[in-house]
Structure 1
Amino acid sequence: MMVEDQTCLPSFVTTLTRFGMLQLQSLQVWEQTGRKHSEILRTQQEEGGSKLGGGLRFSNVALLWIDCDQDVLDKRLDGRVDDMIQRGLLQELQDFHEKYNASRLAQNLEADYTKGIFQSIGFKEFHDYLILPRDQQDTHLGVEMYERGVEALKQVTRRYSRKQLKWIRNRIVARQDPKVYKVDGSDASRWDQFARFPAEEVVQAFLSGVPPALAPEPLPQHEFEAMYGVDRSDKTRFECEVCDRIVIGELQWTMHLKGNRHKKMLRRKARLEGKQD
């Protein structure tokens, strides 16, 4: 949901950050609106949302989706990782490691990759290499750990891109609106032909209020629903007290329960209850 900019909240709210950003957000919503977070989410979904998400902020919208062949995309992502390493990624990781994790390791504490910037893709993948003494990083073992880190970084980057595509399909394309126009960005040598010109046609047609003549048709919803098993008639309402979230539809509820965020919130709740006991 969207919450407009507000002035500083009372101190009793800001002291509760240790319970997690989600709980803090719910307190902010209550302080700013006088309504429960779950109530607002439920209202949003009832006023135009679906099992795939709440209503849109703007009513008159057309979206452009620059799609790409998966094999081509994987090669581009691998090349991006190689380019990042060539431009000094490893040295940046080394500097961060020495300034932060080295002191933890000196105290026999494990490197903490669950907080802040260290959750970013790249740190965990090179952990074994980074904890090696500098004089061992050029040895056979060091080179092996380095290459293993590069491959792990490429794998997690490809996996993250698939997660983004899944999010686009589930949260945007599957909606009844807005219309989504997909253009093909697979062939960079023919970018104008397959991506730029069709996208410009969509935008011009959208602004003028007439159907685009040369641009691709919007993605058909019925084909998406058949492919991904979306049932728009399912309006079953579920409320997750652990995550303070309303979920509409049995399929989405099942996915929510299996999701990493829900499991993380369960573990956090168990830790807090253990401390209270």
Structure 2
Amino acid sequence: MNANDDYRHDDHDEDDYRYDEDGCRHDEDDRRHDDFAAADAVDETDDADEEEDVLDLGLAAFYEEMDERSCREFDEAVERDRRRAERARIEDMRAVDRMQRGARRRALPSYDGDIPLAVRDESLHYHVQLCFEHEYTDAYIRNLVMQICRTICAAVEVMRARQTGSSLAKYVRPECIRRIETMRSVLEGNPDQLPAPALRLRYAPVMPRLVHAMMLNEQTLEISIHITLGATPHCGNMRLVRHGSRWVCDMIDLG
């Protein structure tokens, strides 16, 4: 080694060295070595943290201790659970799809129309709304509305003692007929003590104007009906229930 080599070896600034707690001097190479060692220690710590994040229930060791038959039964049980979970997932997806299709389903059917009355330029408007999916013909709904109008008009005539209660027997329940006849007895009692609206009810012609019905199911129909007695409007409610092939009124209320 010559003097030049000694010069190159010692050609360092004082800043290239650091001193530890014991006063020993270390150069830049020693510093880099220490940095690499510290980085390796950090990596080992991160690996340990990742291993701690894994939930170890001891199944791996338990599985290794099982014999071949037990391992096979264990694998079959796991596979059954996986298939069961997959079937459950498919059923959930189908249920969601059915709900989505139901949300996109078309509006429930309804029927609107007008029926001419015997009076010139007068007609009855009706609206029948279904609360379920079903298809009725327009003629069927139209005939049902006409039955409703005939029933309400006949009930008014029974109250005014122009018809007997037996005329309602085909389409009205007996308990409803008894209530209508009770109203008739009130109107017949003492006409001088009746208020003017009740007197008009006795003599004015009755005419249906509007029928608004809601079919709750294939067996129940609820109706709101608007009629006029002379020039006085009145509203009434009815409920029809299906018996065989006929619709029968089991509730009637005339205001």
TM-score using structure 2 length: 0.19
User: Which one has a bigger Cα radius of gyration?
Assistant: 2
TM-score using structure 1 length: 0.18
Q: Which structure shows the higher helix fraction? A: 1
Q: Which structure shows the higher strand fraction? A: 2
